[in-house]
Structure 1
């Protein structure tokens, strides 16, 4: 499934870049390291912006595949499927709204646009969002930035909380299953006295190996 695979790749690495950026800026704020200025700021901010944009694009395409194209392999829609996509999209969109409001406030506080023009390169997506709020007052920008920030945090922690109880759990089980896969040649096990056997294969959940159960957790539709 090339399209779905590429979109999952964009979504995964988009979140990785956003996680790195969030951790780096939080560490700089708390302990002063790494110093998020100069080329390092440009690099991490740009990766987070571009990664977040492609992650949003991935969500849109995955929603299109599930609800518009509707392939046969995705014929068992559940309400949680849509809510998960909406939650992830809202988190990503909320991050850009927070960034856009912050940049818009910086533009208001700058005496010339040139003082803040570096954000156009370092945060290209956030810069576009900032122009949505250019007509707002500074007080309005500060208020909406705070509201957006807390909303963004609430959704982010909600996402973390629901991971173990939804198909989002495959983020971890899929990676663990892939890492622990058996690379040895496979063969169908022989059944002794097949003509007299009363059972064929696994009949109870307890008869599965830990790897079988892990693969079951990682399997989603």
Structure 2
């Protein structure tokens, strides 16, 4: 790319089958058959990520800028939660198809403030679209819900000497819940926020 920009592109596909039996409460809820459950799904994941980065000078200090974006699409067939006895199917609790789409954009900036102090600032935007078709309810169409979220961060690290570094990291993130839970809640609950701060020291042994 011109003007010393370096670009990378990644296109990917993944497919997996998931089948898990578990029993956390033994006979607490069902004293006759027990509380064993089975979770099962077949998932296809399609995705693409692109980045462009450039190193440059701010005065006589080093800096690096990175821009990026992409998407991920999850196509889940017959996602199941069911009751089981001795690993044998007993009854469906949930059964349906699920579609999840995530598109994102971000900018990441590193700046050398002094010979020992570095700053990293970034902001990312994510947009999610969740869809679910409840087969047990006889639904013929998918129900959808969508929302977007902005996640900034600001980090500093200071090199006391070649072996000791102090860091101070701050950021706002989010948690993405299961689509089946999301469709039963208000839109504001789709992407609950979390604020994090880390202060620490990295020491490299001699």
Same fold (TM over 0.5): no
Q: TM-score, normalised by structure 2?
A: 0.19
Q: TM-score, normalised by structure 1?
A: 0.18
Higher relative contact order (CA 8 A, sep 6+): 1
Bigger proportion of residues as strand:
2
Bigger proportion of residues as helix:
1
